Amino acid sequence: MAKRDYYEILEVSKSASPEEIKKAYRKKAIQYHPDKNPGNAEAEEKFKEAAEAYEVLSNAEKKQRYDQFGHAGVGSAAGGGYGGGAGFSDIEDIFSAFGDIFGGHFGGFGGFGGGGGRSRGGRRVSRGSDLRVKVKLNLSEIVNGVEKKLKVKKYVTCDPCSGTGAKNASSYTTCGTCGGRGQVTRVQNTLLGQMQTTSTCPTCQGDGKMITDKCNHCAGEGVIHGEEVINIKIPAGVGEGMQLNVSGKGNAGRRSGINGDLLVVITEEEHEELVRDGNNLIHNLFVSFPEITLGTTAEIPTVDGKVKVKIEPGTQPEKILRLRGKGIPDVNGYGRGDLLVRVHVWIPKKLSNEEKRMLEKLQESPGFQDGPSHSEKSFFAKMRDMFE
């Protein structure tokens, strides 16, 4: 099923301000919040859908790519983990990212505090940093799409402690600040009476316990230096500077935190005979004066191999021949560009005396006397202009 437009999901215009986008998302999130719709699978999907839309439109860089390339600009059309919001595997991930948006409107869901921000079980979850890599593609890979294997050096989860940072299960002590609750409660006297607020414990970050014996491999961080081989599918039609987001393949988060993302930046390798212009390809074909006058057949390079094109007798210099559907597929799936063949005349720089006499005789012949209309330059004038 085709993905819905992000602006349509949040019911905002493309010119909406960041504050308007945030307000629209909060309205949708409250409307479909799991606390208000217990057991409603459709509401849960709409809740996730709104979070995905907000994750893209609230980020200036992702919004710009989405406005230019649609879902493929943020990777959503690529499948396999791409996309601005594709990393939200469940409701917990959404609360982890945007829990602060609700501003205490709800008491929580699945252990999430209403104003806890990026928290899980009352604990503020560490998020690993994003990684950025460049991938160079040749024209064939751009036209057909390609799967790449990338070996990425990054922080990975420490295996001996499973990312907890503790040496073993008994390497903990109860937090003295919160008494193991993971939260602290404060009572303040105000003009309206006493106000009670509950927040994540600043000492244990909501764990309710402290590590007493740290893992020897990661020194209690839960992550170590390592590398990972990552398979990515790059869709056909991508372009220079386009960025694909591979969710969860960045640096691992400290102490069982959330992984960052891998940002794949596309660079294009120049082709020897074809030049890209949007979704069209351009080939400059050079023919001799006799060939363009008498007509000929020329071999034209395409991504799929060479094709033969007939040059009609009397074809004018700079004429554009269009080979439909021989260009680059649109990254959003809207058809395919064309191959434009621009016909140029190759003129010899040196002529023998015999060749000069032949051209002078031709110039005086009736076929070269009629000339073009007033709105056109003569063939010889065009040739002269090319060397001036």
Specify the pTM: 0.59
Task: Identify the pLDDT of residue 98.
Answer: 59
Task: Identify the pLDDT of residue 184.
Answer: 87
Task: Identify the pLDDT of residue 262.
Answer: 93
**HEC letters along 117-156:** CCEECCEECCECCCEEEEEEECHHHHHHCEEEEEEEEEEE
Q: Quick one: 10 exposed, middle or buried, by C-beta within 10 A (0-12, 13-18, 19+)?
A: buried
Task: Identify the pLDDT of residue 103.
Answer: 47
Q: Do domains 1-125 and 275-386 have the same CATH topology?
A: no
- The domain segmentation of the chain, as residue ranges, is 1-125, 275-386
- Closest to 254 (Cα-Cα) out of 123, 385, 379: 123
Antiparallel, parallel or unpaired: β 123-124 and 193-200 = unpaired
Q: Is 99 left (phi over 0), alpha (psi -120 to 50) or beta?
A: alpha
Structure tokens at 197: 């607020």
Q: Which residues contact 23 (CB under 8 A, 6 or more apart)?
A: none
275-386 fold: HSP40/DNAj peptide-binding domain (2.60.260)
Q: Which CATH architecture has domain 1-125?
A: Orthogonal Bundle (1.10)
As a whole number of angstroms, the distance between CA 213 and CA 174 comes to 13
Give pLDDT tens digits along the chain (388 positions). Answer: 567 889 999 999 988 998 899 999 988 888 888 767 777 888 888 888 888 999 899 888 888 888 877 777 776 433 333 334 444 545 555 655 555 555 444 433 333 333 333 444 445 567 889 999 999 999 999 999 999 999 999 999 999 999 989 998 888 899 999 888 888 888 877 666 777 778 888 888 777 888 899 999 999 999 999 999 999 999 999 999 999 989 899 999 988 888 999 999 999 999 999 999 999 999 999 999 899 999 999 999 999 899 999 999 999 999 999 999 999 999 988 899 999 999 999 988 888 999 888 888 887 887 776 666 545 555 555 545 444 4
- Lay out the sheet containing 243-246: strands in order across: 131-137, 262-268, 243-246
